[in-house]
Structure 1
C-alpha cells in the first residue's frame, strides 16, 4: 500500500518529537543513573545501551523512549512548559526499564534490541536488583523535583506500578492455565502496558498545570493507546521481522505465551482454534515447522485479524480522549502522530 503524504508528515512529526524528547531527557536520565551504586550503574547502563558489559561506551539501539516523549507532550498539550516535566519523564522511563529488566528474567528472553539481555550477562539476581534500584530511583526523582504536584505524582506513579505488577503477575499465571478468557487477557494487557502509558500522560498533565478533567482525559488516552500498542506488540511477537523486533521469529509462540491474538484464537471455537490448542498444550517442544503451523492456525482462527481490528478501534477511542482534553494544537498533533507510530508498526 502506498504511503500518503499525510502519513509521511505524521511519521516525521513523531520522530521529531521523539528526538526532541531524548535531547531533553537523556542528560537528566544519566544524572539520575549516576546516583546508583557502581555495580547497579554498570548493569543499568548496559541495559540502556550506553556501554558494554565492561563499561566501555558503545552505540546501540536504545529504543524509541516513547513514554518520556508522551510526558513532555502532555505537559505542552495542557499549556505547560515541557522542561518542567523532565523529572516526570525520567521517572516514567526508569519505571519502564525496571519492568523490562524483570520481564526479561521472568520470560527467559536472551535478546533485547539485538543485544544480550542484562540477566544473561550479569546473572538473574543482579538484573533483578538493578530493576529494583530503578524503581526506587524513579520515586526519588519525582519527590526531589520540587514541583507543587510532586506528592500527587508519586501516588499516580505508584498506582501505575501496582497495576503493572498485577498485569505481569497475571501474565505469568496464564502460563499454567489452559482456560484463559479474552476479557482476562485484555485486563492483563491493560494493566501491564496501558497503565504506564496512561501514567505518562497523567504525569505530564499534572506537571503542566492541567485544568480539571484534562488529567483524566489524557490518562485515558494513554491507557487506550497502551492496550492498542500491546495488541500490535503481540502481533509482532508472532509475525514480526527479527531485524526490526530484535527477537527470533515466532518468539512468543516458542514460549507458548498467552498473548492477545493467541487467546482470541484459542477461544474461537473453530477447528483451527482446536488444532492450535492441541499444539499449544502438548508436552513436546515446538519445532520450527510446529511454530509455523501454530502461527498459521492463529491467523486462520481469526486471532490475527481480531487483534488488528482491536488496535485500530482502541486508537480511534484514544484519539477521541485526546480531543476531549481540549489540548494545545501542536503538541496534540505530535501526540496523535506518536499514537499512529505505535499502532502502525510493520505487522
Structure 2
C-alpha cells in the first residue's frame, strides 16, 4: 500500500540530502576522471567551479536537486536491496541527465541554467557539446562499476537514451510545424522526461534484486511521474517565477516553443487558439507584447487548466504503479515523498 510509516519517516528533502551524501562523492570522482579538455566545462555545469575554474564555496554545490539518482537508490531499497550497491547507477543516471541539459540549453538557446549563465554561453557551443558527450560516455563507464549487475543495465540505459533522443527530436521538429496535436506532444514529453525517470526507477529495482513485475511497475511509476513533472514544468515555464525556475521568464513563449499549454490552446478550436496560431506564425523571438497576449490567450482557452489536469492524472497513475509493486513500506513512502517534491507540492 502507498502509505507513510509511523517510524523513521523522512521527507523528500531529507531523502535528497541522504542521497547526495552517497552519490556526490562518487559523482565528483567520476568527473575528475574526465580529460582536461572537458573537465572544467562539466565542473562549471555542476556548479562546483566558476568560469575561471575556481572552487565554488556554497552550502549546496551539487548541481540541482538531483531527484533522479535519489529515485535509483530508493527504488533499490524498495525491493529489498541496498542503496550502496546502486550508487554507480545513480551516478550514471545523473550524468545522463546533465548530458541532456548541456545539449538542450544549446539547442533551445537558453542563456541560463540554475540561476547562472548556461555553459554554452561561457565556453562556446562546441565545448558544451563535447562536455555533454563526455558525460554520456562517463555514464556508461560508471554503470559498469555496479557490483550487483544483472547484465541488462547497459541495454536498459541505452534504450532510455534512444527514447530521450526521439523525444528531443520531436520537440525540435515541432518548431517547424503548425499541425502538432496533443497526442504527439504527450509522446514527446514521455520521451524527453518520462523515459529517464522511469529508467532511474527501473535501474534501481533491477540492481536491488526486484522481480520483473516490480521493475516494470517502478518504471511505470517513474514514467508517469516524469509526464506529470513535464506538464507542470511547462506551466511553470509560462507562469512560474524566474527566481524559482532559474530560467528567463516565459522563454518557451519567446522561442515559440510548442509546450503542452500552447498545443492545448492551438488544438482547442476556440478563437483564442486561432489568435495564438497567428501570433506563433513567424520567425525569431516573439515580441514582448505578443508574449503577454499569448499568456492571456492560453488562460482563456483553458490551456493551463488542461495541462494541470493531465499532471494530476499522471501523478495518480504513478501512485497506482506503486500500489501494484508490493514494495517495502518505508522506501515506498519515500518514493511518494520524492514524487511530491519533484512536483513542487
Task: Determine the structure 1 residue equivalent to 2:116.
Answer: 115
Residue 337 (structure 2) pairs with residue 337 (structure 1): yes
Q: 1:201 to 1:285 in 2, by over 3 A?
A: closer
1:41 Cα offset (Å)? 1.0
Contact 2:255–2:284 at 8 Å: present in 1 too? no
The one-character-per-residue Cα deviations of 1:107-155 (angstroms, maximum 9, x if unpaired) are 0011011110111111101110110111111111112323232x31111
> CA, structure 1 residues 284+120, in 2 after alignment: closer, same or farther (shift >3 Å)?
closer
> Shift of the alpha carbon at 1:165?
0.6
Q: Which residue of 1 aligns with 2:41?
A: 43
Q: In the alignment, what sits opposite 2:188?
A: 188
The residue matched to 2:11 in structure 1 has which SS?
helix
Unaligned runs of 5+ in 2: none
**1:281 positional shift:** 1.1
Alignment correspondent of 1:101? 102
Greater CA deviation, 12-21 or 44-53?
12-21
TM-score (structure 2 length as normaliser): 0.94
The separation in 2 between residues aligned to 1:184 and 1:247, in whole angstroms, is: 25
How far apart are residue 235 of structure 1 and its match? 0.6
Shift of 1:12: 6.4
- Cα deviations across residues 243-300 of structure 1 (Å, max 9, x unaligned)? 1011122111000001011101100000111111111114574222221110111111
Contact 2:193 2:230 in 1 (8 A): yes
Structure 1 contact 61–113 (Cα < 8 Å) conserved: no
Q: Residues 48 and 62 of structure 2 are in contact (CA less than 8 Å); yes or no, is this contact kept in structure 1?
A: no
Q: 1:292 to 1:95 in 2, by over 3 A?
A: same
Secondary structure of 2:64 counterpart: coil
Whole-angstrom CA distance in 2 between matches of 1:341 and 1:268: 31
Paired residues of 2:10 and 2:334 also in contact (CA < 8 A): no
Bigger relative CO (Cα 8 Å, ≥ 6 apart): 2
Identify the residue that residue 53 of structure 1 maps to in structure 2.
Answer: 51
Question: In 1, are the aligned partners of 2:69 and 2:200 still within 8 Å (CA)?
Answer: yes
Q: Supply the distance in 1 between the matched residues of 2:341 and 2:271 (Cα, whole angstroms).
A: 35
Q: Tell me, in whole angstroms, the C-alpha distance in 1 between the residues paired with 2:133 and 2:122.
A: 18
Residue in structure 2 matched with residue 224 of structure 1 by the alignment: 224
Mapped to 1, the partners of 2:19 and 2:278 lie a distance apart of: 47
User: Is contact 2:255-2:285 (8 Å) kept?
Assistant: no
2:18 alignment partner in structure 1: 20
Tell me the SS of whatever aligns to 2:152.
helix
Q: CA deviation at 1:198?
A: 0.3
- Distance, in Å, in 2 between the alignment partners of 1:253 and 1:49 is 27
> How much is the aligned-residue C-alpha RMSD, in angstroms?
1.6
The answer to whether the aligner puts 1:173 opposite 2:183 as a matched pair is: no
Shift of 1:39: 2.2
For 2:265 and 2:10, the matched residues in 1 are separated by: 36
Provide the C-alpha distance between the structure 2 equivalents of 1:102 and 1:331, rounded to a whole number of angstroms. 33
CA distance in 2, matches of 1:146, 1:85: 8
Cα distance change of structure 1 residues 54 and 214 upon mapping to structure 2, 3 Å threshold: same
d(CA) in 2 for partners of 1:250, 1:230: 15
Q: Which residue of 2 aligns with 1:31?
A: 29
User: Which 4+ runs in 1 deviate beyond 4 A?
Assistant: none
Report the Cα distance in structure 2 between the residues aligned to 1:339 and 1:141, rounded to whole angstroms: 26
SS of 1:213's equivalent? Answer: helix
- TM-score, normalization: structure 1? 0.94
Matches within 5 A, 1:146-157: 146-149=147-150, 151-157=151-157
